[in-house]
Amino acid sequence: MNYRIKTGIIGATGMVGQTFIKLLENHPWFEVTYLAASEASAGKTYSQAVQGRWHMSSEIPSYAKNLVVEDAANVDKAVGKCSLIFSAVSLSKDEVRKMEALYASKGFAVVSANSAYRMDADVPMLIPEINHEHVNIIPVQQKNHGWDKGFITVKPNCSIQSYMIPLHALQVRGYKIKRIILTTLQALSGAGYPGPSAFDLVDNIVPLIKGEEEKSELEPQKIFGIIQNNQIVNDTSFSISAHCNRVPVIDGHTACVSVEFDGKKPTEAEIMDCWNNYHSVARDLGLPSAPERTIIYKEEIDRPQPRKDRDSGKGMTITVGRLRPCNVFDFRFVGLSHNTVRGAAGGAILMAELVVAKGFVK
Amino acid sequence: MNYRIKTGIIGATGMVGQTFIKLLENHPWFEVTYLAASEASAGKTYSQAVQGRWHMSSEIPSYAKNLVVEDAANVDKAVGKCSLIFSAVSLSKDEVRKMEALYASKGFAVVSANSAYRMDADVPMLIPEINHEHVNIIPVQQKNHGWDKGFITVKPNCSIQSYMIPLHALQVRGYKIKRIILTTLQALSGAGYPGPSAFDLVDNIVPLIKGEEEKSELEPQKIFGIIQNNQIVNDTSFSISAHCNRVPVIDGHTACVSVEFDGKKPTEAEIMDCWNNYHSVARDLGLPSAPERTIIYKEEIDRPQPRKDRDSGKGMTITVGRLRPCNVFDFRFVGLSHNTVRGAAGGAILMAELVVAKGFVK
Amino acid sequence: MNYRIKTGIIGATGMVGQTFIKLLENHPWFEVTYLAASEASAGKTYSQAVQGRWHMSSEIPSYAKNLVVEDAANVDKAVGKCSLIFSAVSLSKDEVRKMEALYASKGFAVVSANSAYRMDADVPMLIPEINHEHVNIIPVQQKNHGWDKGFITVKPNCSIQSYMIPLHALQVRGYKIKRIILTTLQALSGAGYPGPSAFDLVDNIVPLIKGEEEKSELEPQKIFGIIQNNQIVNDTSFSISAHCNRVPVIDGHTACVSVEFDGKKPTEAEIMDCWNNYHSVARDLGLPSAPERTIIYKEEIDRPQPRKDRDSGKGMTITVGRLRPCNVFDFRFVGLSHNTVRGAAGGAILMAELVVAKGFVK
Amino acid sequence: MNYRIKTGIIGATGMVGQTFIKLLENHPWFEVTYLAASEASAGKTYSQAVQGRWHMSSEIPSYAKNLVVEDAANVDKAVGKCSLIFSAVSLSKDEVRKMEALYASKGFAVVSANSAYRMDADVPMLIPEINHEHVNIIPVQQKNHGWDKGFITVKPNCSIQSYMIPLHALQVRGYKIKRIILTTLQALSGAGYPGPSAFDLVDNIVPLIKGEEEKSELEPQKIFGIIQNNQIVNDTSFSISAHCNRVPVIDGHTACVSVEFDGKKPTEAEIMDCWNNYHSVARDLGLPSAPERTIIYKEEIDRPQPRKDRDSGKGMTITVGRLRPCNVFDFRFVGLSHNTVRGAAGGAILMAELVVAKGFVK
């Protein structure tokens, strides 16, 4: 591309919004030209708007500091300023649906970090390496909603990437997943800010993340689904049981996974081969955020570990380890992904790159 | 009893030994009269021996301060001083076997916190509420070894109590366990001192505890086993897959458990009834360390949590919560037990009380 | 005493209120007969009112479970039910002043954990071991306010006990303090619940506690003050500079203290003597919450440490260590006190015992 | 420079050595051509040598993976391979002195992260922004030792950078420091690996770092010293009292500092001006590791914080905040520096750049 696509971020002042701001610095395809948040921030520069609540460990990128924040509800302010919108608004489900539809109706390509549209049969929920073909539902969605060039795509829940990509590596080689029982040890940043109290996470863990288990069990079925009769049909041939825990880790969700296969079962060596030679469509398409290695298997017996492995591939690589036979199912392993990069803003940017590469952003 | 049983502790200076020292303060049945450790500590008072490495949060009990520590290898020093020995020695498996056998051969009732004898078919590995009848193997053990009144009993691994007792509550009511997949989030104290580096457990978790998964999968089969043909025969009718993690928690092992039943399946209400009305044989026998309530179910949706629930029943109660249907197996729940009390020294003291109550300590 | 004083707690459902509930279980002098909180809790049993937000690590004491919580604003509900009131209400400073005055005006002895009245010259702010004589201002206070038998006493800020008592031990022996520069490392529980975000306290510390430094510098001057001309006159002959930090510790405030003396300077041995032989007026008076040893000096070179020393003397003992010459002032040391016990509810109970012993509660 | 200086690292496998390996990746002036460690690592590739104990959060740089590690004691292996040596060997003080002298005697410019030579009057201990002129002692050192072109320079203790540079900013503007009382909250990585036990740093802090306070009080006097009569003479016109604590933070030492001036006292605005306009000689000299801004003052009231500010200027910037009058001395503030970058390997690399720029590496 010989120009960069003008891009907006709505909900730019929250934790996910800030991560977008950070990750889009010097992005080769996207130029941030529009920022919006709640009415309270409208009219302020971005620096003023996040004064005292900038949570990234690096400084506010200079490109963003003096951008004036608009009221996200005032969609007309975006018109002419950009064609792609990242949505990180923090609203009720109904309000998110209304606001994202509003932007789509005005012609924007909306790439959402929110869950509001995840289960709509005409909205692609994308992990580009796995279900890039789901973008083909976009014309159906546009027709259903009466939208001209605008549309909505959503990223899935942040806790599933650590095992979905490793499992996909097996699926594409013909090893069919039947049942999965897994436990996650999830990072604090996944809860937004302020999130859990330090009083609850020092010398303690919390064995509940509200709503997380349900999403973790349902969303993978859509991601592994196929388009049929103008809708994305979930793959219900496998089932997942997820136990989700909050642990005192800043970034990086870990999953302990037991897998049972249906039919042909791979050997340990075959699984290693699937992971070590995973073919990334996102790399084929030249998506800038696709990591050089999508999956890295750590040979050390005590890895992956969140602090030590989360930044692999700039936070976009999935790290796995501890592959071994399961005493009950077939195999077990530990997966790790960076929840605010691969699992949130970084994953959404990769999705945006996909829809651009596929020609949907006009 | 109108007198207290003279009791020794070998390996008295280590973390588990210190917990024995603490928990045996004012014990109604046991009077500590003999302490032993490595040669390096021999001849020192207990206060001197643990100088600068007393890890309990309360002071050294006054009864122990001035007891002179003997060389544990010098078993003759114990003769005449006590009849019951708690073993917390920190040696290689072979050395532990030799030393504990030495004490048993001299007529001592050895109650061990070590793993060396756990899988011997004539050594009872006891969770008194579950398999108190395994004490009946003791005469066989004495005959096998040619011991007169001495014998060895062992406590199981510290990570299994949180689910074994809740599962036993179901077993005794006729609900047969078939398969279990579980993940533990285990406390630091389980690793002894110094244990893991703080560098590895701040903003991090470690998804490996060496040897722990194997023990967690095998030991329950012995505990649920029966005595046949003069040996304890493991119950291999069920299988367990355990994923064991180290987390930055001081005390209290948490387990996320998915259970599949064989045959008749309980309803959620029936499971609650099994737990709420669990009948404790340890209470029937009047064992002083048996908690008033063996199992407590927490109704709060985010419990049990280690820091908040580990001290329940002075660390001897098992706390469970989050009972709900499993998306893959039948049910899932979270269990918690205090690893250095119920899972180590406290559990060993309860075992000692059992063998006393059953008349094996002479 | 052959009966227990009927006692109420207002603000009974918050973190400090819960600590009162816990510490007053089986208190020899006080019987809790009245609980009050905000209107939202009124009419509920205490168990219902704290459902899902009971933060103590032990269960709700059985005496409190079924007490019905009243609306604290409705002072008439208290009349006849009790004569002593512990105040832990969480309101604005003005509202606290009004509510505590209301209770005092109705004849209640109010012992407050709040800061609202701390700097009133006719309100004693008590660390009983240090300034028990300040209770003699109570008749003045009653006259000033036109109260008959009611009055208000307040506990000082939770971060100063760890050094005020050790410094008092020197003052009473004639070593006059001139200047103190200190840094605190303060526990999370001091901030109430939810308090700081875990996101801010994992792999991090926060070098600010709002308002804490100002209080830490001013309150000691009142505590060391004397009654003159019917008011408590601050001792301004010494000055304090306090740097206050929040660290990821559950309970226990640590202070690193450098002290300069005015005039006669003690030797290290003399300081040790002052601490080891500290005479506690609270013990003389037989106050039940006065610890057997008010100050314990730890000889280990790396103590005191919050988790290991905070529970000393049931949380009422001050632990000191690391006494050594200061390279700039005269001496330096590390002090530690349990912030929610000695520094809050426990300290307030000791104050209440003092005013009872002195005959002010009628 | 149109070529890179061939550089070696001795002690390359430890924590500090690994940080050198990481920070020297793509360094514009230095090309790592020689790695050495203990005999146990000799003959292995670097990857093999650090197998299972690579503690950096990024992968081993590809340049280092296949370099063969030599036995550091075998200095002849280094001859011809490099001219500059970074020393991070982990040995006794005497052994370090012998080994570093050995390398210097063979003509190598030794830049040491060890403390062994810190107090030698002919060895420059450098924070390049402050005492770059101390390099002029090198010819004296060479003469004293009979070395031809080799010499030794050392970096100071890792805990002093956070306040020494901010204080230097005041000194150079004519505000003379008289007395400093400070407390540090130091990160785990400063203790090497494994360092403190997690059991001691969860829900806890440790108020002692052995030897740290003495170093922190003495080294600044040498750094602010001058060359007189062929030796570096300490500046004893000011004194420091340091209280050093270990806290559960991975990287980043924080210091709470109270300062008293001698003579002319700056206003708050003047201090801000000194910091905001600090002139860096290291920048003048074009040293590649000198950060664009040596000192950054954070306006937010609760900063600096270690996790959020340590990476500023790639870990080479000093972050300060909370400047305010001191209740006892003149001013107080909070300083923060990255202990393994600015305080260790990064600081040493900056020193190496300085001696290169000054023409001492031949």
Chain D neighbours, 3+ Cβ pairs < 8 A = A, B, C
> Per-residue pLDDT tens for A317-350?
999 999 999 999 999 999 999 999 999 999 999 9
* SS3 (DSSP) at A195: coil
Which pLDDT value is given to residue C2? 66
> Per-residue pLDDT tens for B205-218?
999 999 999 999 99
* SS3 (DSSP) at C196: coil
Residue of A nearest to D60 (CA): A312
| CB nearest to D195's CB, from B189, B195, B199 | B199
Output the CA–CA distances (angstroms, integers) from residue A229 to A121, A131, A362, D347, in the order listed: 11, 17, 26, 64
* SS3 (DSSP) at D206: strand
Which pLDDT value is given to residue B2? 66
Q: What is the mean pLDDT of residues D339-346?
A: 97
* SS3 (DSSP) at A204: coil
Under a CB-based contact definition with an 8 Å cutoff, are residues D173 and D274 in contact?
Answer: yes
Structural tokens at position D51: 């197998």
Alpha carbons A169 and A279: distance in angstroms, whole number: 8
Q: What is the mean pLDDT of residues D32-57?
A: 95
Residue of C nearest to D326 (CA): C241
Q: What is the mean pLDDT of residues C84-100?
A: 97
Pick the catalytic residue from D132, D134, D168, D253: D253
Alpha carbons A204 and B302: distance in angstroms, whole number: 12
Range with lowest mean pLDDT among A142-146, A202-206, D49-53: D49-53
Pairing of strands D176-186, D253-262: antiparallel
DSSP letters for A50-91 = TTT---SSSPPPHHHHTPBEEETT-GGGTTTT-SEEEE----
Alpha carbons D32 and D11: distance in angstroms, whole number: 13
Residue of B nearest to A203 (CA): B249
Alpha carbons A151 and A142: distance in angstroms, whole number: 6
Q: Which CATH class is domain D5-157+345-357?
A: alpha beta
Which pLDDT value is given to residue B242? 98
Alpha carbons B117 and B104: distance in angstroms, whole number: 12
Residues from B contacting A (CB-CB < 8 Å) are 179-181, 183, 185, 200, 202-208, 217, 239-243, 245, 247-250, 254, 256, 258, 301-308, 321-322, 326-329, 332, 334
Q: Is B216 exposed, middle or buried (0-12, 13-18, 19+ CB in 10 A)?
A: buried
Alpha carbons A119 and A129: distance in angstroms, whole number: 19
Q: Which ipTM did the prediction report?
A: 0.96
Residues of A with Cβ-Cβ distance to C340 under 8 angstroms: none
Alpha carbons C176 and C78: distance in angstroms, whole number: 45
Which pLDDT value is given to residue D167? 98
Residue D1 has pLDDT above 70, yes or no: no
Q: What is chain A's mean pLDDT, rounded?
A: 97
Q: What is the DSSP letter of C75?
A: G
Alpha carbons A237 and D286: distance in angstroms, whole number: 63
CA distance D178 to chain C (A): 10
Output the CA–CA distances (angstroms, integers) from residue B324 to A213, A258, B244, B267, D301, in the order listed: 12, 19, 22, 10, 46
Residue C1 has pLDDT above 90, yes or no: no
CA distance C164 to chain D (A): 17
Q: Do B58 and C202 touch (CB under 8 A)?
A: no
CA distance A332 to chain D (A): 22
Q: Do D307 and A202 touch (CB under 8 A)?
A: no
* SS3 (DSSP) at C64: helix
Which pLDDT value is given to residue B286? 97
Which pLDDT value is given to residue A2? 66
Structural tokens at position D320: 């300060």
Residue of C nearest to D306 (CA): C204
Structural tokens at position B54: 């007393």
Chain C neighbours, 3+ Cβ pairs < 8 A = A, B, D
Beta-ladder partners of D6: D31
pLDDT band of A57, cuts 50, 70, 90? confident
Q: Which is nearest to D207 in space by CA: C333, B224, B247? A: C333
Which pLDDT value is given to residue C69? 98
Which pLDDT value is given to residue A1? 60
CA distance D201 to chain B (A): 6
pLDDT band of D2, cuts 50, 70, 90? low
Q: Do D202 and B193 touch (CB under 8 A)?
A: no
Residue D43's CB is within 10 A of a number of other CB atoms, namely: 12
> Per-residue pLDDT tens for A139-161?
999 999 999 999 999 999 999 99
Q: Is D158 a catalytic residue?
A: yes
| CB nearest to D248's CB, from C240, C248, C256 | C248
* SS3 (DSSP) at B66: coil
> Per-residue pLDDT tens for C301-325?
999 999 999 999 999 999 999 999 9
* SS3 (DSSP) at A180: strand
Which pLDDT value is given to residue A163? 98
Residue B185 has pLDDT above 70, yes or no: yes
Q: How many CA atoms lie within 13 A of D23 on its CB side?
A: 25
Which pLDDT value is given to residue B104? 98
Which pLDDT value is given to residue B245? 98
Go through A114-139 and write b for each residue having 16 or more CB atoms within 10 A of its CB, e for each that does not.
bbbbbebbbbbbbbbbbbbebbebbe
Under a CB-based contact definition with an 8 Å cutoff, are residues D169 and D274 in contact?
Answer: yes
Establish whether the linkage from the previous residue to D304 is cis, with ω within 30° of 0.
Answer: yes
Q: What is chain D's mean pLDDT, rounded?
A: 97
Alpha carbons D312 and D316: distance in angstroms, whole number: 7
Task: Provide the strand spans (E) within chain A.
Answer: 5-10, 30-37, 69-71, 84-87, 109-112, 151-154, 176-186, 226-228, 231-233, 239-246, 253-262, 295-297, 318-325, 331-337
Residue with tokens 């009466």: A146
Which pLDDT value is given to residue B4? 93
CA distance D256 to chain C (A): 7
Work out whether the CA dihedral D57, D58, D59, D64 comes out positive or negative: negative
Residues of C with Cβ-Cβ distance to B59 under 8 angstroms: 312
* SS3 (DSSP) at A144: helix
Residues of D with Cβ-Cβ distance to B203 under 8 angstroms: 250
Residue D125 has pLDDT above 90, yes or no: yes
Residues 6+ apart with CB under 8 A from C113: C16, C20, C86, C87, C88, C154, C155, C344, C345, C348
Which pLDDT value is given to residue D112? 98
Residue D265's CB is within 10 A of a number of other CB atoms, namely: 15
CA distance B191 to chain D (A): 9
Q: Is D101 exposed, middle or buried (0-12, 13-18, 19+ CB in 10 A)?
A: middle
Beta-ladder partners of B45: B68
Residues 6+ apart with CB under 8 A from B109: B83, B84, B85, B149, B150, B151, B153, B352, B355, B360, B361
pLDDT band of C291, cuts 50, 70, 90? very high
Residues of B with Cβ-Cβ distance to A162 under 8 angstroms: none
Homologous superfamily of the A161-338 domain (CATH): Dihydrodipicolinate Reductase; domain 2 (3.30.360.10)
Structural tokens at position D300: 């937010």
Residue D217 has pLDDT above 80, yes or no: yes
Same fold, C5-157+345-357 and C161-338: no
Q: Do B312 and C59 touch (CB under 8 A)?
A: yes
> Per-residue pLDDT tens for C52-74?
899 998 899 999 999 999 999 99
Question: What distance lies between CA A248 and its chain's CA centroid?
Answer: 21
Alpha carbons A198 and A208: distance in angstroms, whole number: 16
Q: Where are the domains of chain C?
A: 5-157+345-357, 161-338
Alpha carbons A227 and A32: distance in angstroms, whole number: 33
The amino acid sitting at D264 is K
The amino acid sitting at C30 is F
> Per-residue pLDDT tens for C102-111?
999 999 999 9
Residues from A contacting C (CB-CB < 8 Å) are 55, 188-189, 193-203, 248-250
> Per-residue pLDDT tens for D128-183?
999 999 999 999 999 999 999 999 999 999 999 999 999 999 999 999 999 999 99
| CB nearest to A307's CB, from D57, D308, D311 | D57
Pairing of strands A226-228, C239-246: unpaired
Work out whether the CA dihedral D246, D249, D251, D255 comes out positive or negative: negative
Which pLDDT value is given to residue A92? 95
Which pLDDT value is given to residue B362? 81
Residue B58's CB is within 10 A of a number of other CB atoms, namely: 11
Q: What is chain C's mean pLDDT, rounded?
A: 97
Residues of A with Cβ-Cβ distance to C201 under 8 angstroms: 198, 202
Pairing of strands A295-297, A253-262: unpaired
Residue B200 has pLDDT above 70, yes or no: yes
The amino acid sitting at A345 is A
Residues of D with Cβ-Cβ distance to C207 under 8 angstroms: 254, 256, 302-305, 321-322, 334
Under a CB-based contact definition with an 8 Å cutoff, are residues A28 and A357 in contact?
Answer: no
Q: What is the DSSP letter of D175?
A: -
Residues of A with Cβ-Cβ distance to B208 under 8 angstroms: 301-302, 322
| Whole-number CA gyration radius for chain D | 20
